[in-house]
Amino acid sequence: MRQPALYSRSPRDPAAAPDAVLPETPPVPPEAPRHVWHARLPHWQERHWRWLALATLLVLLAQAFWPAVQQRQLTQKDIDAAVLKTLETAVLPSPAARAAAIVAPSVVRVNGFVTDQDGEEKEHGLGTGVVIVDSGIILTNLHVVAGANRIEVTFHDGTQSPAVMTGGQIHNDLAVLQAQKLPDDLKAATMRSTAELQPGDGVVAVGFPFGIGPSVSSGVVSGLKRSFRSPEGRQQIGNLIQFDAAANPGNSGGPLVTLDGEVVGIVTAILNPNEQRTFVGIGFAVPIENAASAVGMHPF
């Protein structure tokens, strides 16, 4: 009869074999340092991060300088397009407005006064003048100040000053005045030769019609080398500029200017088929060459 096999406890159990000798336990290695982030990265990882940092820097530099790289030299076509766009969208002053603004600081109101038999001072003449030398020399019409006991001019900034007549030309109805008190920023008008003036050229008249002003009117040169005889028939003036910018009593002596704001004449007379002394479309101005000779100077 077969004997049952004898079983024993597992030799892994120390209790099963008290006398068994267990294999020696290998020593436990020391614990790894906890601050592993201070450890040096492998060489390939260091190169990887260096390339990544360099790429990031290049991207940032490209973003910073890309607008400058995109700039290109402007062409005439670009400039023309920009100017056209501005003209289409911006409201610009008219040529007459620009001309008036240029000459306005040189335009003055001229008043002549007389004393009547009762000793009261009354206005004797009203007109306009234009400063042609910044020392206070003013051109106006002789009929504005002739016979006046006292002359007063009012400058663009409101400064009022007594003035004296220092010269004149009867045949051109011109008078030269010298103001006694001047504004600090007095500006003389720019004069221009009439040699190239043509019928149809734009002109502007600035003055004090009926004492209202300074007022601005615009028109064109209607003709050159015209002659005019005063309604009383006492005087005839030749070599005049004919123009159609509105002028009325009070405009006398004021400047007739080009659209560049340069004086080409001194407004002298208007043609009146009737006795109303109002403008009907024909005015006359003495060329600035003749006017400047009244001062004894060449205007150019």
β-bridge pairing 137-141 and 121-133: antiparallel
Radius of gyration of the chain (CA): 49
- Catalytic residue (one of 106, 217, 222, 252): 252
Q: Catalytic residue at 173?
A: yes
Q: Catalytic residue at 116?
A: no
- Catalytic residue (one of 106, 156, 161, 173): 173
- Catalytic residue (one of 106, 124, 143, 244): 143
d(CA 118, CA 213): 31
Closest CA to 205 of 154, 279, 124: 279
Q: Catalytic residue at 252?
A: yes
d(CA 7, CA 242): 147
d(CA 148, CA 107): 21
What does 155-179 look like in DSSP terms, one character per residue?
Answer: -TTS-EEEEEEEEEEGGGTEEEEEE
Whether 263 contacts 105, CB under 8 Å: no
Q: Which residues are catalytic?
A: 143, 173, 252
